[in-house]
Homo-oligomer: A and B are copies of this chain.
Amino acid sequence: MHLPLKGIVVLEFSQYLSGPCAGLRLADLGAHVIKIERPQKGEAGRKLAIKNLWADESSLLFHTINRNKESFTADLGDPQDMQWIKRLIGQADVITHNFRPGVMEKKGLHYESVKEINPGIVYTEISGYGNHGPWKNKPGQDLLIQSLSGLTHSTGNYHDNPLPFGLGIGDYLCGNQAVQFILGALIRKKKTGQGALLQLSLMETLIDFQFEFFTTYFQSKRQHKRSAISNGHSLLSAPYGIYKTQDGYIAIAMMPLQKLNAAIDCEALTQFEEEDTFKKRDEIKAVISTHLLTGTTTSWLKKTQPLDLWVMPVLNWQELKEKQGYKILEMEQQIHLDDIEITTTRCPVRINGQIFLSGKPAPQVGQHTEHIKAALSLKYE
């Protein structure tokens, strides 16, 4: 397959999760992504392990996010190394960085300098909170920005503490937003010759993610409340949510209350009208909760699914992995790292019916420095 971004060169001055997530997707799409790393230690994310799992000297997490990339080491304080970086910039289409504001300026690698070398460059800056204002120098960390952004008031039940999403949602979304704008800017460049400075932050990304909530809040002027029971979406009516059964859990999405009643034979539901489902949602959900405890997940599925009601079981990763519906997606791929094989997920989109995989592991620190220098030397001879 001719991958969409074949021939596009991306320089990744990024670390940890948000910038490298953008690079991962660009690499999946066929771009040539080169991580610019410090000599020896390399990118800081190499030492960020989750569950203390390591692949080699770098963590499993690093390998997950940085597969299919190359590594070029340079000391950005060293004039000779900077010469190489500038040559590389001359050949690149895209730069990403997620340093705190001011860091790239100090190195002489901010947009104003870089566009002198390469006016068509698409220069992408990911920050925590933008480049000005009182938070600009605060740590741009995912949990902290979830907490500031209001997001932690969306999940969990009314009487719970504010609850963060249990994974790096801001970083992941920011990487994905960046890719959309990078590709948009490349399309514009092809047409107009113009490069672009793209700036986004975890905070703006998490506000955009909550666009339904913010728009509702702007209109109603009232902080809305999570359900006290089985909250699935603080703006939706009963029965929406996850319920405990005799032997597990079941998810119930939108449906008319009396259709649910007809399927699960829950007499007590007849006292409620359809118009009550938002206002009295906690009472209704309490009735459903008690009733669903009297049967198994399978028994409820048998009663509801043949009626095409929007109901599904709740699975963990292990249970999901055994399902035929998971297997046919072919979401797994292997990365080959010397004598270690790492199983990870693939790029989630099919092009012309084909999945596309890449077994190329994350690079060793500086693994491609000499090779890239040799190629650049040929160009500049």
Whether A320 contacts B150 by the Cβ 8 Å rule is yes
Q: Which residues of B contact A314 (CB under 8 A)?
A: 147-148, 152, 162
Among A180, A181, A201, A213: residue with most chain B CB under 10 A: A180
A interface vs B, CB < 8 Å?
Answer: 2-8, 25, 29-30, 50-53, 60-61, 64-65, 129-130, 132-135, 138-139, 141-150, 152-156, 160-169, 172-173, 176-181, 183-188, 190-192, 194, 196-201, 203-205, 207-220, 223-224, 226, 230-236, 240-244, 249, 251, 253-254, 278, 308, 310-321, 323-329, 331-332, 342-345, 347-353
Looking across the interface, which residue of chain B has its beta carbon closest to that of A17? Answer: B212
Looking across the interface, which residue of chain B has its beta carbon closest to that of A318? Answer: B223
Contact of A213 among B167, B196, B219 (CB under 8 A): B167
- Give the distance in Å from the alpha carbon of A160 to the alpha carbon of B318 in the complex: 19
Among A155, A187, A233: residue with most chain B CB under 10 A: A187
Contact of A350 among B60, B139, B178, B200 (CB under 8 A): B200
Among A2, A165, A176, A349: residue with most chain B CB under 10 A: A349
Whether A251 contacts B154 by the Cβ 8 Å rule is no
Among A65, A130, A184: residue with most chain B CB under 10 A: A184
Given contacts A139-B308, A213-B317, A344-B211, contact A144 B4 (CB under 8 A): no
Whether A204 contacts B316 by the Cβ 8 Å rule is no
27 contacts across the A-B interface (CB closer than 8 A): A2-B192, A4-B185, A4-B188, A29-B184, A30-B184, A53-B216, A64-B212, A143-B233, A148-B323, A148-B325, A150-B315, A162-B242, A166-B226, A166-B233, A167-B212, A168-B233, A173-B176, A180-B180, A180-B183, A181-B351, A183-B186, A197-B352, A198-B351, A204-B331, A215-B345, A218-B343, A223-B318
Q: Which residues of B contact A235 (CB under 8 A)?
A: 50-51
Nearest CB in chain B: distance from A357 CB, A = 13
Looking across the interface, which residue of chain B has its beta carbon closest to that of A237? Answer: B52
Whether A214 contacts B4 by the Cβ 8 Å rule is no
Q: Which residues of B contact A163 (CB under 8 A)?
A: 155-156, 163, 242
- Give the distance in Å from the alpha carbon of A152 to the alpha carbon of B209 in the complex: 18
Nearest CB in chain B: distance from A281 CB, A = 11
Task: Pick the 10 closest A-B CB pairs, nearest first.
Answer: A4-B184, A183-B183, A147-B251, A154-B166, A50-B235, A133-B328, A135-B325, A218-B343, A208-B348, A204-B348
Whether A345 contacts B147 by the Cβ 8 Å rule is no
Q: Which residues of B contact A188 (CB under 8 A)?
A: 2-6
Given contacts A148-B312, A180-B179, contact A351 B53 (CB under 8 A): no
Contact of A212 among B4, B168, B200, B278 (CB under 8 A): B168
Given contacts A161-B244, A187-B183, contact A349 B212 (CB under 8 A): no
Whether A198 contacts B162 by the Cβ 8 Å rule is no
Whether B242 contacts A147 by the Cβ 8 Å rule is yes
Q: Which residues of B contact A327 (CB under 8 A)?
A: 133
Whether B317 contacts A153 by the Cβ 8 Å rule is yes
